[in-house]
């Protein structure tokens, strides 16, 4: 494998990105498929934001570049990256700069109903940020639905076991030996991203 490959798992707060990311990793480990995992939110966790980087975009990219370089030096070529907005087109440049211009990107947008996301957040958020997370989850769900590229694989999470969700996500990558949704399309030229599943 000459170029790096990255699986971007995005979605609203409460959709299960981190949980699914770890289960994807577990399934890949069980299949002896080498990879690394980065929780994207941690790449920009600095307060206050740098004066010259109010949205923490540069610190996030700098940290991603450094962490990936450490993985790559040890032979890693596949990355699972979880972050709410990682699937949006404007994030592409960061991954191309951090992982190399030839990086193969698979975008997966996890989806959940407002009711499901709220129930998960209420069960998860034990501190002072529940109201903020609930409002942000609603807003970002609409934004992601409208702006995620057409080739993004959308995976519903309502009422499903995490192992089944992760199996669908792994299949989208083609990493486990089966063709990805993109590769299975007749006449496909193996472009840089996966396609939306029906």
Residue 47 located in a structural domain:
yes
CATH number at residue 149: 3.40.50.300
16-30, 58-72, 184-198: segment of lowest average pLDDT: 184-198
Using only C-alpha atoms, what is the Rg of the chain?
16
CA 185 – CA 167 distance, rounded (Å)? 19
Predicted local confidence at residue 73, as pLDDT: 97
Q: For residue 128, what are the contacts with CB-CB under 8 A and spacing of at least 6?
A: none
Residue 71 located in a structural domain:
yes
Residues 115 and 157 sit within 8 Å (Cβ to Cβ): no
CA 32 – CA 12 distance, rounded (Å)? 30
Residue 186 located in a structural domain:
no
Cα angle 134, 81, 8 (rounded to 5 degrees) comes to 85
Domain carrying residue 125: 5-173
Residue 188 located in a structural domain:
no
pTM recorded for the entire structure: 0.87
Residue 137 located in a structural domain:
yes
Residue 185 located in a structural domain:
no
Find the helix packing angle between 17-30 and 162-173, rounded to 10°. 70
Position 171 pLDDT exceeds 90: yes
Number of domains in the chain: 1
Name the residue with higher pLDDT: 195 or 157. Answer: 157
Task: Pick the closest to residue 174 from 156, 160, 195, 154 (CA basis).
Answer: 195
Residue 178 located in a structural domain:
no
Q: How many helices (H) and strands (E) does the chain have?
A: 6, 5
Residue 194 located in a structural domain:
no
**Over residues 19-42, mean pLDDT:** 97
């Amino acid at each position: 494998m000459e170029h790096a490959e990255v699986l971007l798992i995005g979605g609203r707060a409460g959709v299960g990105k981190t949980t699914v990311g770890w289960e994807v990793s577990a399934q890949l480990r069980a299949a002896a498929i080498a990879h690394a995992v980065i929780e994207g939110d941690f790449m920009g966790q600095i307060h206050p934001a740098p004066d010259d980087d109010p949205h923490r975009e540069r610190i996030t990219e700098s940290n991603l570049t450094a962490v990936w370089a450490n993985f790559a030096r040890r032979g890693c070529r596949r990355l699972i990256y979880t972050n709410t907005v990682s699937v949006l087109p404007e994030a592409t440049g960061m991954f191309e700069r951090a992982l190399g211009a030839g990086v193969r990107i698979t975008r997966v947008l996890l989806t959940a109903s407002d009711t499901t996301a709220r129930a998960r957040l209420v069960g998860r958020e034990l501190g002072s940020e529940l109201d903020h997370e609930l409002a942000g989850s609603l807003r970002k769900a609409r934004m992601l639905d409208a702006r995620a590229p057409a080739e993004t694989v959308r995976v519903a999470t309502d009422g499903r076991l995490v192992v089944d969700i992760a199996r669908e996500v792994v299949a989208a990558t083609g990493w486990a030996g089966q063709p990805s949704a993109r590769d299975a399309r007749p006449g496909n030229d193996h472009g840089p991203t996966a396609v939306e599943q029906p």
